[in-house]
Amino acid sequence: MGEPCLSDRPVIVGAGLAGLMTALHLNASAPCPVTVLSSAPLGTEASSAWAQGGVAASVGPDDASSMHVADTLAAGAGLCDALAAGRILQGAASAIAHLAALGTRFDRDEAGELKLGLEAAHGRRRIVHAEGDATGREIMRAVIAAVHACPAITVLEGVDARRLLLRDGRITGVLAGRRNPDGRDEAIRLASTQVVIATGGIGGLYAQSTNPSTCFGGGLALAARAGAVLSDLEFVQFHPTALDAPGTPAALVSEAVRGEGARLVDETGRRFMADVPGRELAPRDVVSRAIWAERQAGHQPYLDARGLIEGGFATRFPTIAAACHAHGIDPDREPIPVRTVEHYHMGGIAVDEAGRSTVPGLWACGEAARTGLHGANRLASNSLLEAMVCARSVADSLLSSRLLAAEPVEGQALPPSELPRRPDPAPLRETVSAMVGVLRARAGLVAGIEALLPIARGCSAQADPALVALMIAVAALARRESRGGHYRTDWDETDPWQASSRSLTMADALRLATRAIARDPA
Ligand code: SIN
């Protein structure tokens, strides 16, 4: 590890849209040297690049930010922070303009106006998209090109953060690991008083998810071990319509397909959402549970998109068409088999309006952060927008606190043997899926907590994934009601007295887990 390094540039952990936009905003008006840690080659392991539907933005002539806020609050089932929602959603038009200026080729009509799609629980067509259903890929192409063109941004590929370094409760740096060609991990220590967590979601904890399998909530584990407060952890969103075909991660069949009129049917052609308010475009948790229930009852759910798109399905949804064709399914001729899979985590590192966590020197943005926008259930396509708007707030906050900063500090010097092992969530996936899936209940939560607690306390490659899963389970056990993405079969009503967000530290979670096991051993 050598001598402590005194360089003090911001370190961004994660290179999806939130992380890269933070780096670009830091350099918007003057060069600001910044280091971005990317565990994989840029763009290859980021959920942002896989986003299909698009970016929700109230830019249509019949729309207004206040309408977008109202739909977001309704989906959030009483747990959104209305001020945060107003602030973030108001930034939509300028975020879209910024991306267009970076070179993102959004889909437009002949007059040059943005084409707007519809998704579930949106009262208006307001989904801005690119290359049909390849919105994330096109946005990330433009953003990555801008990052490469900015000499002040250093991207360290193949490097993943393993611990945050602290002194007197303040961030002093990041201890990271890099896999050498011989397969061994090398420790890298980056001294910095400003660290941003932008590591994305938790889908890698589940057997079936639309996220890259490396996204297991690593940033949540880093922040929790540093003493940060995490909020709304029990709220996990499941996407109702992933392609039901072998392989993981699951291919998404965007909600935009239902926005174009596709119907959910079973193997007999019965439209099982026909009597549910909102039908196929009901809130995502409602549709997810309906599909889950159909499968439990022995039915095969399908999405029937035949004859919807003039010129053929692939003209509007080329990515989904390719995924279907790869499994021998022709969406123009046959219904698409679908299943419910993990998709998005509403909870995360609790941050204020500037993206500051409760640990001095630690910021968070993107899916890893809990801003209050999503509440108990995220409105479709609000997350790319949140990532862009909050990246700007984080960059502004970093820049203004740099002006006030004292001298660069020394980080802790750790011997190489203390580099934690490269995390591997795979052995935990069946446990996590059974414990905090679409449906939860006390017995399953306590059994999962009992299995995870010793692992989270240990130092194996499963320690960090187990800690994140444990904290989600403890939060789910404490919420004795059903709301949004959190559905308890043993507490299946929404309780108006529980309409508030809840927070946990790692110490709280370990204490509550121990108590739950003692009270109710599996
Ligand atoms: C989709 O395209 O259905 C996903 C959009 C989202 O999750 O925001």
> Are 205 and 432 contacting, i.e. CB atoms less than 8 angstroms apart?
yes
**What is the dotted CATH code of the domain comprising 5-231+346-416?**
3.50.50.60
Between 43-47, 90-94, 207-211, the lowest mean confidence (pLDDT) is in 43-47
C-alpha 129 – ligand 1 centre gap (Å): 11
Ligand 1 pocket, 254 CB below 6 A? yes
C-alpha 51 – ligand 1 centre gap (Å): 7
pTM: 0.95
Ligand 1 pocket, 27 CB below 6 A? no
**CA 119, CA 24: separation in Å to the nearest integer?**
30
Buried b (16+ CB within 10 A) or exposed e, 313-343: bbebbebbbebbeeeebebeeebbbbbbbbb
- Measure the N-to-C terminal CA separation of the chain; round to a whole number of Å: 44
Query: pLDDT digit string (tens) for 258-293?
Result: 999 999 999 999 999 999 999 999 988 999 999 999
Helices (DSSP H) in 37-134: which residue ranges? 47-50, 65-75, 82-89, 92-102
* From the candidate CATH numbers 3.30.2400.10, 3.20.20.70, 3.90.700.10, 2.40.110.10, the one assigned to the domain spanning 241-341: 3.90.700.10
Reply yes or no on whether the pLDDT at 482 is more than 70: yes
C-alpha 251 – ligand 1 centre gap (Å): 12
Query: pLDDT digit string (tens) for 167-180?
Result: 999 999 999 999 88
Query: pLDDT digit string (tens) for 62-75?
Result: 999 999 999 999 99
Atom of ligand 1 nearest to the CA of 253: 3
Q: What is the DSSP string of 207-249?
A: SSBSS-TT-S-HHHHHHHHTT--EE-TT-EEEEEEEE-SSSSS
Ligand 1 pocket, 53 CB below 6 A? yes
Position 51 scores a pLDDT of 86
C-alpha 164 – ligand 1 centre gap (Å): 32
Q: Which of 469, 480, 467 is nearest to 441 (CA)?
A: 480
Largest CA distance in the chain: 70
Ligand 1 pocket, 256 CB below 6 A? yes
Q: Which fold has domain 424-519?
A: Methane Monooxygenase Hydroxylase; Chain G, domain 1 (1.20.58)
Ligand 1 pocket, 395 CB below 6 A? no
C-alpha 179 – ligand 1 centre gap (Å): 33
* Number of other CB atoms surrounding residue 102 within 10 Å: 18
pLDDT confidence band for 3 (50 / 70 / 90): very low
Reply yes or no on whether the pLDDT at 296 is more than 60: yes
> Are 203 and 322 contacting, i.e. CB atoms less than 8 angstroms apart?
no
**CA 117, CA 124: separation in Å to the nearest integer?**
9
Which residue among the candidates 258, 284, 316, 378 is catalytic per the annotation? 284
What is the number of H-type helices and E-type strands within the chain?
A: 16, 19
pLDDT confidence band for 45 (50 / 70 / 90): confident
Ligand 1 pocket test, pick from 50, 71, 119, 374 with the greatest ligand atom count within 8 Å of Cβ, gives: 119
Ligand 1 pocket, 381 CB below 6 A? yes
pLDDT confidence band for 405 (50 / 70 / 90): low
C-alpha 255 – ligand 1 centre gap (Å): 6
Q: What is the three-class DSSP state of 415?
A: coil
Reply yes or no on whether the pLDDT at 414 is more than 80: no
Q: Cα 179–35–225 angle (5° rounding)?
A: 70
Radius of gyration of the chain (CA): 22
The CA–CA distances, whole Å, from 439 to 266, 289, 484 equal 21, 8, 12
Give the residue with greater pLDDT, 414 vs 302: 302
pLDDT confidence band for 350 (50 / 70 / 90): very high
pLDDT confidence band for 411 (50 / 70 / 90): very low
Q: What is the three-class DSSP state of 306?
A: coil
Residue intervals in the chain for CATH 3.50.50.60: 5-231+346-416
Contacts of 518 (CB under 8 A, 6+ apart): none
Residue intervals in the chain for CATH 1.20.58.100: 424-519
Q: What's the chain's average pLDDT?
A: 94
Q: What is the DSSP string of 85-102?
A: HHHHHTTHHHHHHHHHHH
9 counts as catalytic: no
Tokens for 459?
């130092």
Between 47-51, 401-405, 434-438, 500-504, the lowest mean confidence (pLDDT) is in 401-405
Between 6-10, 108-112, 196-200, 377-381, the lowest mean confidence (pLDDT) is in 6-10
Give the residue with greater pLDDT, 37 vs 282: 37
The CA–CA distances, whole Å, from 131 to 115, 315, 332 equal 11, 9, 19
Contacts of 332 (CB under 8 A, 6+ apart): 306, 307, 312, 313, 314
Ligand 1 pocket, 342 CB below 6 A? no
Atom of ligand 1 nearest to the CA of 383: 8
- Quote the percentage of the chain above a pLDDT of 70: 95
Ligand 1 pocket, 52 CB below 6 A? yes
